[in-house]
Structure 1
């Protein structure tokens, strides 16, 4: 329904003349859309805004107004699509004028409301179909989280070598690695050896050290940073004899672990230290053919690890396994030091033949040239 608004009617006439003459560009079409909206002529406003978006498809203001017009026209699904596009394209709030910041906040709220309504309807239909009680699959539940925008897709992105066809799993099911039982059972012995090492603060070295043979890529300020430090028992496929001699029970506990074997590169076993207040920024590992295992030994409150969408807090004596080729980061927000035992294992999906091939291939690469690690 068109309302009587003399000012809006005059503006509509003015902008219609500009657009017919080809003058004014997207601003004229936007002005016409606003005038039509003020007059209650939503269809005409949408038509005018289409012309404006043709010329400036990434304009935040136009995307938001298009969402508003679609919502006013009763098309909530399309409105949310435009709102989401605007939200993804928007710079940080601090870089926006207050008026646009408020519009984005309103768009965000509209998206959240739509998702909540859609989720309610979806679960109701699953329940009516008799499927809601059976929807206990972790993978299915994760797919719902992705569908509803509660999570985003994180995939393996190793920096050096990608082996295709492996499941995109963030944290693995503990039950799939029975050899962790022996590792966890030795927690007290391992911690006792760690405490002896901790008496020598110089025993730990920065986890990340720049290689003078390679470009000094940005590592989020972690190069030579003792906030993230390591005490190696195995390093680059070789036993660190002096350190290993100090921790015989630790190495004995790892006897059943199917450790990655790559000449000059793996296995790697270390005590990983995060000092108070440390943050290891988001990053990915170099391979997706191995998994990273953590046995928490000293864990104050406020220590956590995010892998992809999932964030977990370490618990002393309870090991976990994750894919470090998926983006991950860690925090120690406490005022105490956190230390874990970190080691790596072959992915269980790889056959013995594939493990041999991968090991030989990586060894050949390292023998022939320098690669960023």
Structure 2
């Protein structure tokens, strides 16, 4: 253990070496001090400064971060120390900016793949990592994909081609029977996991169901025979009493669906935009998509997502859920059996 006199002498030695430009010698003396008194804030800041002056950015970063962490637990610090902490924060910001610029320069943005570009943003802290977080049931081993490429699904072109006919049926329902559109979040629905949600029993987000919780709404399907028939080739995720849900989803002007996660990760959610009168968007994880009429969107709703209609008129999409393509036929049958029975058993 170094005695107090030696520590004082070492600090003085560190200062003398720093004044003479012997940055490595000053750093060595300060590390000896800190080995004995690791909470010496002044020595940490000085170690950061001499390491910075000597071009040792990694050591400067370590010292500055340790000093800032320590200072967060010590209020009412003297002015010189506060100035040192501000200097530490500024230099850390400069280091981060320089590091990002160098990594960004390795491969020009226009030459990067989308996934690599996203990985770089995560590495540099420009976006968080968004993963599947289903609120009810998690099936392991499925890829973490925010938006799927619709071109990978063979049923998409045919359904998109039926957009004008589906729009006609939607407009007929809108003109004849507004009362059939019910709030998407009702007190017994369980959606979003909150009974005090601002969209609870609110028609700002409403629905006209063709299938609801796995049950076909015969009267509504009879009014929309083209839409119903168009879904026959779509791999809807049937599980008794649970799924699919197929609906015209209405979002009124200015309505915002706040960030939330879906119930199970064995499905994907699909939107066929039918009425998009202006700016309206869907964010899934780190990606934001702007709806375009007739262009299907497929996404994993167990990754945090939100939506907003910024137009001054109502936005409507045909919303439905499908099996994830990575599941085998046996796995689909197993999951359907489980989901269909899960509420009939009580946990011991």
For Structure 1 versus Structure 2, the TM-score category normalised by the shorter chain is 0.7 to 0.9
- Counterpart of 1:159 (choices 135, 157, 170) is 135
Gaps of 5+ in 1: 1-15, 21-31, 92-98, 125-131
C-alpha distance in 1 between matches for 2:195 and 2:31: 46
Q: Cα–Cα, structure 1 residues 215 and 339, in superposed 2: closer, same or farther, change >3 Å?
A: closer
The residue that corresponds to 2:152 in the other structure is 176
Matched residue of 2:322: which SS?
strand
Q: Distance in 2 between matches of 1:86 and 1:328?
A: 37
Output the TM-score relative to the length of structure 2.
Answer: 0.76
In structure 2, the partner of 1:275 is 252
Asked if 2 retains the 8 angstrom alpha-carbon contact of 1:80 and 1:111, the reply is no
Counterpart of 1:74 in structure 2 is: 55
Normalising by structure 1, we get a TM-score of: 0.72
Decide whether aligned partners of structure 1 residues 205 and 82 sit closer, same or farther in structure 2, where only a CA change above 3 A counts.
farther
Q: State whether residues 84 and 111 of structure 1, in contact with CA within 8 Å, keep that contact through their aligned partners in structure 2.
A: no
The partner residue of 2:290 within 300, 308, 313 is 313
Find out whether 1:123 has 2:100 as its counterpart: no
Question: For 2:64 and 2:288, how far apart are their aligned partners in 1?
Answer: 28
2:195 & 2:33 partners in 1: Cα distance? 47
1:287, 1:73 → 2: CA distance? 54
Q: CA deviation at 1:244?
A: 1.7
Q: Which residue in the other structure is 2:319 paired with? A: 342
SS in 2 for 1:291: strand
Distance 1:212 1:287, change over 3 A: closer
Cα displacement (A) at 1:338: 0.9
Q: Is the 8 A contact 1:210 1:216 kept in 2?
A: no
Map Cα deviations across residues 53-77 of structure 1 (whole Å, 9 max, x no partner). Answer: 7599xxxx99999876754453334
Q: What corresponds to 1:111 in structure 2?
A: 96
Distance in 2, matches of 1:86 and 1:330, equals 41
How many Å apart are 1:49 and its aligned residue? 7.3
Encode CA deviations 1:88-144: one digit per residue, 9 max, x unaligned. Answer: 9xx9xxxxxxx9999867754552332112332x339xxxxxxx99x7544334333
Q: CA RMSD in A?
A: 4.2
Pairing partner for 1:203 from 164, 175, 180: 180
| Distance of 2:40 and 2:346 partners within structure 1 | 49
* Structure 2 residues not aligned, in runs of 5+: 73-82
Once the two structures are superposed, residues 136-195 of structure 1 have per-residue CA deviations (whole angstroms, 9 ceiling, x without a partner) of 544334333333333332111111111111111111112111101121011111111111
**In 2, distance between residues paired with 1:215 and 1:274?**
16
Query: Structure 1 CA distance, aligned partners of 2:275 and 2:192?
Result: 35
Question: For residues 318-337 of structure 1, what are the structure 2 equivalents within 5 Å?
Answer: 318-337=295-314
State whether residues 46 and 69 of structure 1, in contact with CA within 8 Å, keep that contact through their aligned partners in structure 2: no
* Equivalent residues in 2 for 1:208-223, closer than 5 Å: 208-211=185-188, 217=194, 220-223=197-200
Question: Which residue in the other structure is 1:5 paired with?
Answer: none
Q: Which residue of 1 aligns with 2:226?
A: 249
